[in-house]
Structure 1
Amino acid sequence: MNVLPLSAVLLALALMPATLLARTSDRNKPMDIDAGKSDYSMDDSRPTVLSGGVVITQGTLEIRADQAVITSANGDPVRVVLTGSPVTLKQELDDGKQMDAVAKKVDYDLKTEIVVFTGSVNIRQPSGSIAGERVVYNMRTGQVQGGGQGANDRVKIRIIPKNQGGG
């Protein structure tokens, strides 16, 4: 496994989907990051690029992407862009059930705490799912917006009744 800079570790912390009711104990577990290649600058003059199959694991969290680009300001990450065919995110929820998300691109602005999933997005939890070409998730407010750029892009939402056991 390649040893990565602090900004790459902070990337993985930033991607923790805590507001999706993911397993809260995962934040206290060791984090492992594995990538085929790392291109890192000692200052903020250019982003850190991880490529060659990026795998981030921490507890039950597993993120897989073809590439991760981390932009920093004053030594702290401010934006993380994951791309892949697709990017996948899996994590166990506190109740033991699984949450899965896939998209071609995941763009996380750490300052605004807004995550934008684009390209064949599908986010599934026991309580339901949302799919479309674009899903915007505001971690501060909990607001989720879905849709697409064109007139034919649609969002599909499925809500599972609680009496059906949630999946």
Structure 2
Amino acid sequence: MRTPNAPNLTRRLRRAAALGLLAAGLLPLPGLAEKADRFKPLNVEADQPGRIDLLKQFVEFNGNVVVTKGTMTIRASRIEVRETPDGYHTAVAFGTAGKPATFRQKRDGVDEYIEGEAERLEYDGRTDTIRFVTNAAVRRTRGSGTADEITGNLVTYDGVTEVFSVSGGAAATPANPGGRVRAVLAPREGTAAAAEAASAASAAVPALRTSPSLGTPR
């Protein structure tokens, strides 16, 4: 892919900066084709003015920053976006231990999402991968529930192959005092195991019973 010329890049960066100045940090979540996300334009909005370096093709946004690319959404307090010489975008989103950066993207062909958070997110548009760095937690959600969850110091998600990799060394927390890598995996939807698990969960819910009627007050 050829490198965009300077006037076109300038117009795009100015338009992005204007969004950062004028928007309130809110951007609707698109519902388009999931695997086509990597070919969608990358949009950035923020509460505060950004910093633009045309020579280095670098933009920094601060304050309730929202990055979208198709169904993918990243939210953070600060995000740095770069355009590589071959036209792909990279983004680094910064959060804190108290308010991590977050990620959400619809899975292809199913009503499921990949969601996660960490103190830093690193997105690579060329490979369509995202790294969750420091106190990372990544989930596959189905409806309002969590199907799978992975926690560790570093979780990498490949959006093309839908493969995760995880490494330990996470800081100890009350919920995870040993800082170990953890994974909770549920049966895949549509399988016999998933149907049996749903049936067992329904059977475990006690049936509602009517209470005795109250006596007539004297």
Compute the TM-score of the two structures, normalised by the length of structure 1.
0.67
Do residues 49 (structure 1) and 60 (structure 2) align?
yes
Deviates most, 104-113 or 121-130: 104-113
Amino acid aligned to 1:3: R
User: Does the 8 Å CA contact 1:50/1:68 hold for their aligned counterparts?
Assistant: yes
Do residues 121 (structure 1) and 132 (structure 2) align?
no
Ranked by relative contact order (alpha carbons within 8 Å, sequence separation 6 or more), the top structure is 1
How many angstroms apart in 1 are the aligned matches of 2:128 and 2:35? 21
Report how far residue 78 of structure 1 moved: 5.3
Q: Which runs of 5+ in 1 are unaligned?
A: 9-21
The structure number with the bigger radius of gyration is: 2
Q: Which runs of 5+ in 2 are unaligned?
A: 1-13, 21-31, 172-177, 189-193, 199-218
CA-based RMSD = 3.5
Paired residues for 1:18-167 under 5 Å:
23-24=33-34, 27=37, 33-35=44-46, 36-44=48-56, 47-57=58-68, 60-74=71-85, 76-77=87-88, 79-84=90-95, 85-93=99-107, 94-110=109-125, 114-125=129-140, 126=142, 127-139=147-159, 142-149=162-169, 152-162=178-188, 163=194, 164=197
Compute the TM-score of the two structures, normalised by the length of structure 2.
0.53
Give the structure 1 partner of residue 4 of structure 2. none
Report % sequence identity.
Answer: 22
Question: Are residues 24 and 139 of structure 1, via their aligned partners in 2, closer, same or farther at CA, if it must alter by over 3 Å?
Answer: closer
Q: Judging by fraction of residues, say which structure has more strand.
A: 1
Q: How many residues align?
A: 148
Instruction: Output one character per residue of 1:106-149: Cα deviation in whole Å (capped at 9) or x when no partner.
Output: 11344555432112211111441211121123456654221234
How many angstroms apart in 2 are the aligned matches of 1:141 and 1:24? 13
